[in-house]
Amino acid sequence: MTPSTWMRAILVLCFGLGSEPRATAQIMDDAPTRPLSVEYFKPDQTLSKKFSPAQNAWSGADGAYSIKLNDDTAIWTFGDTFIGKVENNKRSADTKMVNNTAAIQTSQSPDLNFIWSGTTEKPLSLWRPKEPDTYYWPGDGIAIDGKLFLFLHKIKTDKTRPEPFQFRTLTDTIVRIDNPLDKPDEWRMKYAELGNDAEKLQFGTATIGDGNYVMVFCSYPTRREGLNSHPVILARIPKGSLQALKVSDFEYYCSKTVNNEEQFFWSKQPKNPKILFADGAPEMSVTTLSSTDLGGKDSGNQKLYAIVYMPPLTREIALRHANKLTGPWSEKIKLYDCPEKDSEIFQYSAKTHQELAKRPGELVITYCRNAKNFQTHFDNASVYYPQAIRVQLKRAD
């Protein structure tokens, strides 16, 4: 049975089992220079409307990662998705749900081209595991040399658990799509399972290329504390290894104490991985910003890394920045308070989409909305769509 969308959102907010004391913050060199601040923000109604009920029956989803395929084209990926008609802001009773879909965006077209497998009457997810009663929710991904690599979180129905938690996260999978610019039914895909226990370490919450490596931010629920279910750690894999799906080549950024000094190193095993920050999310995004673009006195031309995310159980979209992907990461900077006041509607999965930015220092951000009561999605079809905003950053001199 397909889980309701609010089940997914609860998992997004609360994912992770077990509890251990969290590592204390470590003093590191290369601390980020000068904090950033928000110059202004505004809703992006043009982008938000691209997700509203479409003529092809795609009628709402969450997730909303975007990955640049080339200078002209990006692919969006979504989690649980409604397929069906919307009339007078109500979903039809015969609306179906699949666990993942996508959309293609090009500079030549003002609209998103939503895609899924099967038909409108009998829709199927684009990515489907072979095991029964399992399904995929997409994580982040990256395009390399014309090929698309996506992290997929494998979920399994588990009716031994109490409602609404009758599912569990199993492991993560990477899918390589050799020809992502072709039609989905022509995609040549190969899967590689990572073999991790995703309730202890979840891959692919955010990814970015860095020289010869793909850097992969991960959720590490093993070290959760209180509401912070998703402490953030960092893994990496050589681009060549990722292209070959040689997943045994992942390394993890770890720490150890030698002669009362904290040392940091890359290890094949995630033994005592460095917690970059504690209040992470299972869906985030990471991008680069130029300090010159952000202005400020004597800013130089230093590259900054920025992570956009929504801390647990908040309506707040936040940013942290760093000079290096390994950190240290700045304190949390609040970018935006989501305006929804209805306590039955909640927000999650904030991400940035820099391929859509129009000016230096601008962030294009989406976040997802969901309802605590599943019937709300049929009575009020406007809830379950990504919402878009634009945030202009500047140096806080």
Domain borders along the chain are 5-395
pLDDT at 89: 92
Query: Taking every pair of C-alpha atoms in the chain, what is the biggest distance, in angstroms?
Result: 68
Distance of alpha carbon 360 from alpha carbon 354, whole angstroms: 10
- Selection from 284, 311, 312, 299 nearest residue 361 by Cα: 299
- Selection from 253, 295, 294 nearest residue 272 by Cα: 253
Per DSSP bridges, beta strands 387-395 and 362-371 are antiparallel
Name 104's bridge partners. Answer: 75, 113
Domain 5-395 has CATH 2.120.10: yes
* Best mean pLDDT range from 232-236, 255-259, 354-358: 232-236
pLDDT band, very low/low/confident/very high, at 297 (cuts 50, 70, 90)? low
Instruction: Give yes or no for residue 271 having a pLDDT over 70.
Output: yes
pLDDT digit string, tens, across residues 84-116? 999 999 999 999 999 999 999 999 888 999 999
pLDDT digit string, tens, across residues 156-173? 988 787 544 567 889 999
pLDDT digit string, tens, across residues 54-91? 667 999 999 999 999 999 999 999 999 999 999 999 99
Phi and psi, residue 354, nearest 5°? -75, -15
Distance of alpha carbon 88 from alpha carbon 378, whole angstroms: 11
Distance of alpha carbon 260 from alpha carbon 159, whole angstroms: 49
* Complete DSSP assignment for 53-94: --TTSEEEEEEEEEEE-SSSEEEEEEEEEEES-EETTEE-TT
Going from the C-alpha of 351 to that of each of 79, 205, 314, 376, the distances in angstroms are: 14, 10, 15, 25
pLDDT band, very low/low/confident/very high, at 312 (cuts 50, 70, 90)? confident
* Complete DSSP assignment for 122-186: SEE-SS--SSTTEEEEEEEEEEETTEEEEEEEEEEE-TTSPTT--EEEEEEEEEEES-TTS-GGG
Token look-up 């993942």 returns 100
Distance of alpha carbon 213 from alpha carbon 190, whole angstroms: 20
